[in-house]
Structure 1
Amino acid sequence: MTLLLLAGACLLAVTLGYVSLCRASPYGDCRKCRGFGFAMKTDRKGRIKRGKDCRRCKGLGKRIRVGRHLYNLWLHVYRDGSDTPAKTPASKG
């Protein structure tokens, strides 16, 4: 029982840590270009040169985190589902 409780506490700590990371910093470095925004190339002499813009992050070097993307999707669904139209007042006759 204590091993199960310990595993649950570790899972809770990791989840809360990731949630706080997504809240504090919703954008992380692009994994393909490592946050540079472009690919690194070497010329024939071996010197490093700037390559093409990264297609994954469109040259920005930042991408939205998976957790923040899921939160944004949930938020849009919640707002669209709870939007009630304004009722017009009944005319007195």
Structure 2
Amino acid sequence: MWLAIAALILWLAGYAVLCAVKPFAPCGRCKGAGYLQHFRKQRTCPRCHGDKLRLRVGRRMHNAWRRTREAGTRPMPERTSR
């Protein structure tokens, strides 16, 4: 049991580092090509809009958490020196 928990924590830490270092991953729908091919007809990938990359799920969660935290945190009052 402890080994499984340690493995999970290690995996989560590794994924967090990966999201911080490389926040974008190849699009899973077009496999990073930027387009889809249907019956010899190419069209732009609707998921990545031809950018070939998508923001990772972990990075999306981090950005949402950061925006929520910033929206709920009161700004620090500016100190005036006397």
Please say whether Structure 1 and Structure 2 have the same fold, judged by a TM-score greater than 0.5.
yes
Q: Does 1:26 align with 2:23?
A: yes
Q: Determine the structure 2 residue equivalent to 1:58.
A: 49
What is the TM-score with the length of structure 1 in the denominator? 0.75
Contiguous gaps of at least 5 residues in structure 1: 44-49
Q: What RMSD in Å do the two structures reach over aligned CA positions?
A: 1.9
The CA distance in 2 between the partners of 1:23 and 1:85, in whole Å, is 27
Q: What's the TM-score once normalised by structure 2's chain length?
A: 0.84
Which structure is larger by alpha-carbon Rg, 1 or 2? 1
After TM superposition, which residue ranges in structure 1, 4 or more long, deviate above 2 angstroms? 40-43, 83-87
Give 1:1-93 correspondences, 5 Å limit: 4-40=1-37, 43=40, 51-84=42-75, 86=77
Give percent identity, aligned residues only. Answer: 32
For structure 2, list consecutive stretches of 5 or more residues without a partner in the other structure: none
Count of paired positions? 79
